[in-house]
Amino acid sequence: MSYTNPYRKRILVTGGAGFIGSHLCERLLQEGNEVICVDNFYTGSKRNIAHLLTNPYFEVIRHDVTFPLYVEVDEIYNLACPASPVHYQFDPVQTTKTSVHGAINMLGLAKRLKVKILQASTSEVYGDPSVHPQVEEYWGNVNPIGIRACYDEGKRCAETLFFDYHRQHKLQIKVARIFNTYGPNMHPNDGRVVSNFIVQALKGEDITVYGDGSQTRSFCYVSDLVSGLIKLMNTDPSITGPINLGNPGEFTILELAEKVIKLTGSKSKIIFKPLPQDDPKQRRPDISKAKEILHWQPAIPLEEGLKYTIDYFKKLFGEQ
């Protein structure tokens, strides 16, 4: 039974002003739900949700999930956590707290309300993988004391907590492992490869490729990813995940740089710098489970998604 009316679910999205969270809030509203967006605006942005503020079924709460939250809702999507190395390495202790204390607080809320909760986990739980492509059964190859561990191990611990709450308290959980996602609302200075390359290309700066550019990534457009999250949330209670969500199309970083230069018409040159510590050499999801269980697979090809993303950044820079 909904707290508002029997026909409109009330859904909490933590990290709702972030890149993925803002798209999720918008989609959930479009589907006729009431949405409470919770964000401390550390990496989230008000401009990502400004167009939603006039919707009477949208509410924003400035709150840090490392502290308990008391609201009445029907479902919880837990997306709160800085997700790019630039941001999560800036305050690594707070990053770990956000993943771990945030999970505990949101799981506690879900337990009290007896509602289902989805954890936005990450392909980073696989670390620098020795299995390729990555299947959900793979336990990963993570450096627990490296500079990325605050995020990698924080997310791994959050998964542990979700499954322990499920076993111990019979809580209905869903765990999605999100692979590289891109699209409008990305932070221009988040250090992620797609936004980095587009921003550098539009400004006519050298495009920075770390290593020799032969390392591979898979890039999922944000609307496809959001569809996968909603499909997972709406599965049978017996489906907990973890389920990989990402695009299995694999590209080298050098290929991505060349595509961005071509699509922007930029005169930027590609320069090479040393590979950062613990940077994965390969990253590609096996999405067999998502296809079979969720009947989901990405629909937007990389070139099309890059065009939408480039248009977003052009508009963003035009407003500045």
**Residues labelled catalytic:** 151
In 3D space, the residue among 208, 187, 239 whose CA is nearest the CA of residue 42 turns out to be: 187
What is the spatial distance between Cα 124 and Cα 152, in angstroms, rounded to a whole number? Answer: 5
* Pair 232, 245: CB distance under 8 Å: yes
DSSP assignment of 7-47: TB-EEEEETTTSHHHHHHHHHHHHTT-EEEEEE--SS--HH
Q: Which residues have CB under 8 Å from 124's CB, separation 6+? A: 142, 148, 151, 152, 155
Burial letters for 60-79: b for 16+ Cβ neighbours within 10 Å, e otherwise?
beebbbbeebeeebbbbbbb
